[in-house]
Structure 1
Amino acid sequence: MSDIADLEPLARSREQKAWNWYDWANSAYYTTVLSVLFAPFMITVAGRAAGCGNSADDTCSKTVDVLGLHLAAGALPFYLTSFATIASAFVLPIIGAFVDRSSRKRFHMAAFAWSGSFFAALLFLMRGDHWQLAAVAVVISSILGGCSLVSYYAILVDISTEDERDRVSSRGWAWGYLGGGVLLAINLVMVLAHGAIGLDKEMAVRLSLLSAALWWAGFTFIPFLRLRDHPAQDVVPEVGGLLSRSFGQLFTTLRGMRQFPMTLTFLVAFLFYNDGIQTVIGVASTYGSKELGFGDSVLIATILMIQFVAYGGALLFGRLAATYGAYRCILWGTYAWMVIVVLAMFLPRKNVATFLLAGVAIAIVLGGTQALSRSFFSLLIPRGREGEYFALYNACERGTSWFGTFLFGVVFQITGSYRPAIVALIVFFVLGAVFLLRLDPRRGIEEAGNTVPAVV
């Protein structure tokens, strides 16, 4: 029997390749819909209902009625995404607790993905001055997308050893940038050249929104069919009803993290530096257009470039992690972000070359830090509680991302310039680095009961 080859690494490799496809699938929704096309189109449609005309200008201050609240049409999509983020913080713990006890994580991932893509497809019906259905659809699809990611992240632990984790996560994240970039490129060509293909601009946008939903649903079949079911590990005994188990477990997790101080330290570090990352990405187009004077063509080209360069950045950081360890690479990444925001302050107006170089730097560090954060955190999670901990991770990733934009807005209001506002974001990377320097990665992995990789 000792002469029989161990086929488990080959089986894991097949599952890892299948797992990558869900990053490819869901990234289309986050890039085409949430990052680029939904907000300006929703502003236009809601603006008509409010009497703002056909302008997509987000300064339209006329309001629409949302459950008795009078919200400015120009701010409506941002209120909706903020509400979805807050709601996710309450919903994800329930999903995390459920996922931890399930041996069918791939089924739950796919079910949430297909449900989310269904609601995302309803955005195609947003037209004229009919915004109400789309408002409901974007909130529900965003929440369901987060639910699918809790299951998806938990599967990473089932299909990879501790030594494989960084490589697998980096490759998945790279595939996500590539998939999201490919569809976004197709859709932007369709929107910008709508007349040449016989479409009016709004139909081109609506078809682009629909394509993201179909892409998300269609490519989800690949991991669903190729992944295997894995039995739940070290299940925490159930106590009480569903809500008390889920929300009670969330608070138990926070209290119980005193037993895993390194896990808590990393989560706090991640909260800060990820907030900085999300803010830089979110305000980059505003900074480029308002402060540096670039038009839409330069901004669109930069967005696409970042998507594809981030693919290489994620793979590069995966290779660096194999040599130097994920912890060091994440720490170096926070240092690189500090340099980026300082240099961004001094970018000259209407100098395309320097703006693109800044975009390249952002893309390389962006893909790497996000991919390795996911894999490194998985090493700090006690076995059998992946869903619970990744629900908390997602809540930190999504639920606190308004701190940076708030600081950016306050500094701009005080100074009247976006340049000091962009460099002010360095505080998030400094705080992230401070907490990372307080972290002992080897101790954290051992305290969680996991095997320490050859290179930490």
Structure 2
Amino acid sequence: MTLAGTRSTKRERWGWYFYDWANSPFYSSTTTVFGALYMSTIAAEDAKSNFTLNGDHACVDASGAADTLHHCDVTVFGLQFPAGSTWGYLLSVATIVQVLVLPIAGAVADRSRNKRRILGGFAFLGATAAAAMFFMAGSDWQLGAALFIVANIGYGGSLVVYYSFLVDIGGPDERDDISAKGWAFGYLGGGLALALQLGFYLGHDAFGVSKGTAVQICFLTSGLWWALFTVPAVRALPRDHTPVDVAPGTSVLRAGFGELRRTIVSAKAFPLTLAFLGSYLIFTDGITTVVAVSAQYGKDELRFGDEVLIMTILVIQFVAYLGGTLHGLVARRIGAKRTILGSLVLWIVVLVGAYFIQPGKVVQFLAVAVGIGLVLGGTNALSRSLFSQMIPEGKDAQYYSLYVVGERGTSWLGPLVFAGVGQATGSFRLAIVALVIFFVAGLVLVALVPVRRAIEAAGNRPPEVL
């Protein structure tokens, strides 16, 4: 029996909410804002040092003007690509690497008497790497890329364990609300951290530091925030956990991939659960990509300055807090599935609106940002809680390992589509609208999944409102 079936204290739930608060700056600041803006700039500096202007590899646009970001290539492992596509390709590589590592998180969590210790270990690994991105400077974008990949390993690993606690702290009728509150609280924390960083970034001259150094300090503070607030979160989470037996002499790595394989095999007995998971993996790829490339789209295609972009992301963060809370309230009345379908329709509207934004039109950009904020957190929060209803009892970490592995294993497609379309057409406007396909496909597939039957097939009681 899960802890939700015996006890669930207010302290434990707040501990769960607080880990969303702790890790959000890595997502909102490092990944969404400063990484997207700074990585391309650093890569462009590297490109400048490796080309001869107007020579065989001239970095010029159609008018003959220098345009390092779009028209000059950087090279890594013998591969060449435009400096402006660096971030999109890095996101793809980081997620592929996670697929090879995340099964270990589920294996260790299932085999440990103290899951929260495993959560803390992955969190501190990610936080340390995120803070170390402070040392990315000049033209050394490769160092930042390596640290970002390690940080993502810690981030993804911690999420596997973190998600599995949802079943421990909430019953079937409570999880939509708990999950939505956690996601909303996370966006509030990410927004607060970003607001403080924005104030420092915009006032960098008053602090006697350059713009580049200010960004480096923002990397450092995001990592420190993650580490600092992980401590009270981990201390408040449930301590009790009955570990899975491990055969003597079996390594954690072998056990991890063995467990993933067994989970996949056993999951075939629950095809409706897999159908929902597949639907989720498609549309969450689109969500992750939109958030990750929004700053680059605003900078490279719409020609907004960094200050406008960061303030817009800040608006998204605080609106996402309201959006996440609103999704929880709506789900109480009409159910999680219908709420998710409504959100996916709004995502399609938002992306079409983004395509028509005119360069330099701040009000249009802010309107689309508000739309993103309203649907950003709630869509994923309700998907997380709805999936928990479809997991056979006692298989929480295993199935959330499959959930996060699948999430990370497919989330390279969106950045790849964005970067590829942008490189092929020379237009990030076409690249952003190409992402609509992920939401259309997700909408159709989620609509076809009989969620109540899926929950009952897993041996669970469906919530009263579904």
Shorter-chain TM-score: which interval?
0.7 to 0.9
Deviation at 1:23, TM superposition (A): 0.4
Of 13, 35, 53 in structure 1, the residue corresponding to residue 32 of structure 2 is 35
Q: SS of 1:383's equivalent?
A: coil
Contact 2:92 2:413 in 1 (8 A): no
Q: Compared with structure 1, are the counterparts of its residues 358 and 49 closer, same or farther at alpha carbon in structure 2 (3 Å cutoff)?
A: closer
**Partners of 2:423 and 2:82 in 1: how far apart?**
22
Residue 309 of structure 1 and its aligned partner are, at CA, apart by: 0.1
CA distance in 1, matches of 2:355, 2:145: 36
CA RMSD of aligned residues (A): 3.0
User: Which residue of structure 2 lines up, in the alignment, with residue 260 of structure 1?
Assistant: 270
Task: Choose which of 184, 191, 195 in structure 1 pairs with 2:201.
Answer: 191
Tell me which of 396, 402, 413 is aligned to 2:406: 396
TM-score scaled by length of structure 2: 0.86
Contact 1:33/1:212, CA 8 A, preserved across alignment: yes
What amino acid does structure 1 have at the position aligned with 2:135? L
Letter in 1 for 2:270: F
Instruction: Letter of the 2:9 partner, please give it.
Output: R
Aligned residues of 1:116 and 1:141 also touching (Cα < 8 A): yes
- The residue type equivalent to 2:283 in the other structure is Y
Match of 1:212 in 2: 222
Distance change in 2, residues 1:426/1:236 (3 Å): farther
CA distance in 2, matches of 1:250, 1:167: 29
Structure 2 counterpart of 1:303, one-letter code: I
Aligned residues: 446
Shift in Å, 1:389: 1.7
User: How much does 1:342 deviate?
Assistant: 2.9
Separation in 2, partners of 1:267, 1:169: 17
**Corresponding residue for residue 443 of structure 2:** 433
3-state SS of paired residue (2:9): helix
Q: Secondary structure at the match of 1:259?
A: coil
Match of 2:376 in 1: 366
Aligned pairs (5 A) from 1:27-426:
27-45=24-42, 48=45, 52=49, 58-59=69-70, 61=72, 63=74, 69=78, 74=83, 78-130=88-140, 133-232=143-242, 235=244, 241-408=251-418, 418-426=428-436
Measure how far apart 1:91 and its partner are.
0.9
DSSP-derived class of the 1:381 partner = coil
Q: CA deviation at 1:281?
A: 2.4
**Structure 2 contact 116–237 (Cα < 8 Å) conserved:** yes
CA-to-aligned-CA distance 1:304-343 (integer Å, 9 cap, x gap): 1001100110010011111211111111111222222233
Q: Identity of paired residues, percent?
A: 44
User: Contact 1:169 / 1:374 at 8 angstroms: preserved in 2?
Assistant: yes
The CA distance in 1 between the partners of 2:113 and 2:190, in whole Å, is 29
Letter of the aligned partner of 2:32 in structure 1? S
Cα deviations by residue, 1:426-447 (Å, 9 ceiling, x for unpaired): 3222211221122111111122
Shift of 1:186: 1.4
Measured after TM superposition, the shift of residue 409 of structure 1 is 5.0
SS of the residue corresponding to residue 29 of structure 2 reads helix
**Greater shift in the superposed pair: 42-51 or 247-256:** 42-51
Between 1:237-246 and 1:443-452, the stretch displaced more is 237-246
Equivalent residue number for residue 3 of structure 1: none
Q: For residues 256-289 of structure 1, give each alpha carbon's deviation from its aligned partner in whole angstroms, at most 9, with x where no partner exists.
A: 3221111111111111111222232234334434
User: Distance in 2 between the 1:59 and 1:433 partners?
Assistant: 34
SS of the counterpart of 1:342?
helix
Q: Could you say what secondary structure the match of 1:404 adopts?
A: helix
CA contact (8 A) 2:285 2:414 kept: yes
| Equivalent residues of 2:98, 2:405 under 8 A apart | yes
1:348 CA displacement: 4.5
SS at match of 2:238: coil
| Cα deviation, residue 60, structure 1 | 7.0
Please report how far the alpha carbon of residue 80 of structure 1 lies from its aligned counterpart in structure 2 after TM superposition: 4.2
Distance 1:268 1:335 in 2: 18
Residues 430-439 or 122-131, more deviating = 122-131
Are residues 439 and 401 of structure 1, via their aligned partners in 2, closer, same or farther at CA, if it must alter by over 3 Å? Answer: same
Shift of 1:365: 0.9
Whole-Å separation in 2 of the counterparts to 1:7 and 1:373:
22
Give 1:16's match in structure 2, choosing from 9, 13, 17: 13
SS in 1 for 2:206: helix
Q: Is the CA contact 1:106–1:229 (under 8 Å) kept in the aligned structure 2?
A: yes
Q: Is the 8 A contact 2:89 2:415 kept in 1?
A: no
Q: Is the 8 A contact 1:110 1:148 kept in 2?
A: yes
Q: Name the CA shift for 1:58/1:40 in 2 (closer, same or farther; >3 Å).
A: farther
Task: Could you tell me which runs of 5 or more consecutive residues in structure 2 were left unpaired when the two chains were aligned.
Answer: 51-65
